[in-house]
Structure 1
Amino acid sequence: MPRRSYDQYCALARALDTVGDRWTLLIVRELLGGARRYTDLHADLPGVSTDMLASRLKDMEREGLVSRRRLAPPGAAFVYDLTARGRALLPALTALADWGAPALDEKRPTDAVRAHWFALPLVTRLGRHFAEGVDVIGVALDEGEFHVVLGTDDEDGPRYADGPAERPDIRLRMDTATCADIARDRLTLEQGIASGRIEATEPGAGDGARRRKSTATA
């Protein structure tokens, strides 16, 4: 079935022809964190029906935003990956997250939350506040962990992934309210660390981790 089009000779209209359908950009958000199985996507997109998710993934494959591949044994499951065209949406999603961040006031009782959903607004803020020598940053919330790779020496640029980093340069632990305040620019990383709302540690020799002095800039 052909997809609907705005039929306008306009770059924005062409973009919306491709990514303007409900759930499409949220699927991109999930896949920006790395390859995911269909069941993983469904679990982290609460509210989407199985039929809708399958339909959107087919549309996105046809538009060249995602590819599907089978993992090598013993996994042998199919996973979805963003193509280079799909990954190029990161700046657009980051801008939309910045625009939507002021709406993160009180969490509603019906709101679902996943830790890695905060990665988009944090990517630029972490890059802005941490000095050289900090490239991989682990972030732990009550709801789970994700990590950000600033990509200073990586042609792919900044990116993030669900779960803890294997060898982070620094680990940040905070509650969801603090993370939301950072996303809304009500709190800087430096202020959060100085006030104790953010615990910053780096891997250390011997007994695990030691507290890190703030490398954030004003």
Structure 2
Amino acid sequence: MGASYHQFCPVAKAMELLDERWTLLVVRELVIGSRHFNELRRGLPRMSPTLLSKRLQQLVRAGVVQRRVDGDDVTYELTPAGAELRGVVETIGQWGTRWIGELGDADLDPNLLLWDMHRNVDRAAVDEIPAVVHVAFPEMTGRLRDWWLVIDADEVDVCDIDPGRPVTVTMTSSLRDLTRVWRGDLTWTDAVRSGRLHVDGPAAVRRALPGWFTMSDFASVPRPAAVG
């Protein structure tokens, strides 16, 4: 638990646990469905493994998370108390979408974007499996420039090295613009029409591609009308 606020208010007592850096984002990852340590790390790429272990231990001690060990397999699951935080995470995310819209360059992360996209692939919407989606960010350098989503019948993988499989379709965009599409700040149609997003592949696949993704949970949150 964090430092005490020394208040009997239940908001203050809850925040003694939840307002420590990264804690609520760890809960977010568990709400989304991450269960293993490495999955949590992929969803929190800038959090050190040491701090992640510490926060998980704190959440376990607080009764928010349960750690399960089955041989060499260690998983983390929300307890009933932790599951009640789903609504908190969703409400904060909706509020942040409406009122904290500005993205700085440091907020853009291709690793995190592709990881979020991969766990929102609707395999049932993909007509021909296996399929490979190549995502290119021309402004990036080195291994940050090209990414691949490999869609198989039972799983979806993210690769930052060419998997050596035939590419079904290629998406080319700046990291900022594709992030805006994913967040719902820019529609897929407007991104394509404006040239901010280029999709290369068979016509049928280009038309179907938006339906391959369920999109971010917050993409449909209404934004406030511009003032002035």
TM-score (normalised: structure 1): 0.54
* Map of 2:144 onto structure 1: none
* Map of 2:30 onto structure 1: 31
> Do the aligned partners of residues 136 and 70 (structure 1) sit closer, same or farther apart at CA in structure 2, a change above 3 Å counting?
farther
> Offset at 1:117?
6.7
> Offset at 1:6?
1.5
Q: How many residue pairs get matched?
A: 173
Instruction: Give the unaligned 5+ runs of structure 1.
Output: 124-133, 148-160, 165-170
* Map of 2:4 onto structure 1: 5
Counterpart pick for 2:207 among 203, 207, 211? 211
Instruction: Give the unaligned 5+ runs of structure 2.
Output: 127-132, 137-146, 159-168, 212-219, 221-228
Tell me the SS of whatever aligns to 1:79. Answer: strand
Deviation track 1:160-185 (CA, whole Å, cap 9, x = no partner) reads: x9858xxxxxx995642223333676
Tell me the SS of whatever aligns to 2:105. Answer: coil
* Map of 2:40 onto structure 1: 41
Counterpart pick for 1:78 among 74, 78, 81? 74
* Map of 2:101 onto structure 1: 101
> Offset at 1:213?
9.6
* CA-based RMSD: 4.6
Structure 1 residues 58-137: aligned runs within 5 Å: 58-70=57-69, 76-83=72-79, 84-95=83-94, 97-98=96-97, 99-102=99-102, 104-107=103-106, 113-115=111-113
Partners of 1:63 and 1:27 lie apart in 2 by 14
Task: Work out whether residues 2 and 20 of structure 2, in 8 Å CA contact, stay in contact via their aligned partners in 1.
Answer: no
Q: Which amino acid aligns with 1:62?
A: R
* Map of 1:154 onto structure 2: none
Percent of residue pairs bearing the same amino acid type: 27
Q: Which amino acid aligns with 2:75?
A: V
Partners of 2:39 and 2:210 lie apart in 1 by 35
Task: Work out whether residues 6 and 17 of structure 1, in 8 Å CA contact, stay in contact via their aligned partners in 2.
Answer: yes
> Offset at 1:78?
0.2
Deviation track 1:165-214 (CA, whole Å, cap 9, x = no partner) reads: xxxxxx9956422233336765223422444626499xx8xxxx462498
> Do the aligned partners of residues 43 and 136 (structure 1) sit closer, same or farther apart at CA in structure 2, a change above 3 Å counting?
same
Partners of 2:63 and 2:170 lie apart in 1 by 36
Tell me the SS of whatever aligns to 1:7. Answer: coil
Partners of 1:40 and 1:61 lie apart in 2 by 18
Partners of 2:95 and 2:35 lie apart in 1 by 23
> Offset at 1:53?
1.9
TM-score (normalised: structure 2): 0.52
Higher percent of residues as helix: 2
> Offset at 1:94?
1.5
